Amino acid sequence: MRTVPGRFGFLFTLIFLNLACVAQAVKWTTDVPLVDCDGTPCVDARLSDGSSVRLGMDTGNAVSILDTRIATALGLKPSAPPKPGAPAGMYRSVIPSLRLGESTYQNLEIVVMDLSDMIGKNQMPRVAGTLAYTAFKDRALQFDFAAHRLRVSEVLETPAPCTDPCDRITLIKFGEHGPPIVVAQGFAINGHAVAAQIDTMFTGSMLIYSSAIEKTGLAMQAKASEVRTFAFTDGGVQMKQAPVDSEMFHGLRFGRGTVYFPTPGVHEPDGLFEATVGLELLRGSVLTLDFHSMKLSLQRPS
């Protein structure tokens, strides 16, 4: 009997490859309480010496931070020479292991700095440090603000499903000389599409940067005189605020709300993206950031 040549064998190969590429369900290996720290999301972690610390979850930063006193108790040493112009006492190091729930994260790169003065001036929530998005490379990170849980996947090697509404995320520098940060497509303000940074340490809803005011039709709102102070953004700044008709992520509508505009003390991204989305908008939602497939999904539980 003659074997089937050519195209049937090729078709079988295509089917096999397609099946192999089917998105696999995410397995959450970390599922821990999401704690409130002065209005920002935190988790309790265990360090390599067995001590417990409370760390802020900061998707708006590319570097994780640990307070000097904690680093000294751990016996951490600098892993690289300090950068020119770095504040005295600030250095880069590595935490040998950090445990969240039942999962351990090895060799976590951090910046060590004295947080006591910043906390005393209300420029930083009362935490021992922060975990940046870079700590979760190739993992999915889920903020369940509705159930107050933080979930982290195992390291992903294949694409994971992205529940609608879903869009892509990109690492874009914050300004020409800034660090790469997490920027998502799919957001809109009053029907105008914006690419927005996802910042879980920004306690406002949506900040519209100066270069995007005209394109979003918010010139009149940007002239508002009412201001609000944000303690943990740029070391504490004021932003102008005004009401808007709608804030959305694809078909997910957040209703009428408040939008914010920068004052001179607010750092801006040199027109590389239009907005920053913060905790007021995300409250009550489930935010999933997949740093393997570079996708964001956002659901609002009923």
Spatial distance between the Cα atoms of 87 and 258, rounded to a whole number of angstroms: 36
What is the rounded average pLDDT of the residues 162-167? 95
Q: Model confidence over 38-61: pLDDT tens digits?
A: 999 999 999 988 999 999 999 999
Structural domains of the chain, ranges and CATH numbers in brackets? 28-153 (2.40.70.10), 166-299 (2.40.70.10)
Full-model pTM: 0.89
Q: How confident is the model at residue 122 (pLDDT cuts 50, 70, 90)?
A: confident
| pLDDT tier for residue 17 given thresholds of 50, 70 and 90 | very low
Burial (CB count within 10 angstroms: exposed 0-12, middle 13-18, buried 19+), residue 132:
buried
Does an H or E element contain 46, and which? strand 40-47
Note the pLDDT of residue 13: 41
pLDDT of residue 24: 64
Question: What per-residue confidence (pLDDT) applies to 23?
Answer: 55
> What contacts 24+ positions apart, CB below 8 Å, involve 268-271?
268/175, 268/209, 268/210, 268/211, 269/172, 269/173, 269/174, 269/175, 269/178, 269/197, 269/209, 270/175, 270/176, 270/211, 271/209, 271/211, 271/212
Residue 116's nearest CA partner among 59, 72, 57, 76 is: 72
Q: What is the pLDDT of residues 197-213, one digit of tens each?
A: 999 999 999 999 999 99
Measured distance CA(239)–CA(276) in Å, rounded: 13
Which tokens hold the place of 220? 């009149």
Contact 263, 246 (CB under 8 A): no
- Give me the DSSP letters along 123-168: SS-S-SEEEEGGGGTTSEEEEETTTTEEEEEPPPSS----PSSEEE
Angle at 166 between CA 136 and CA 244, to 5 degrees: 105
What percent of the chain has pLDDT above 70?
92
- How many other CB atoms are found less than 10 A from the CB of residue 29? 16
pLDDT of residue 58: 97
With bands split at pLDDT 50, 70 and 90, how would you rate the model's confidence at 189?
A: very high
Write out the two tokens for 7: 């195209």
Q: For residue 185, which of 132, 259, 138, 249 has the smallest C-alpha distance?
A: 249
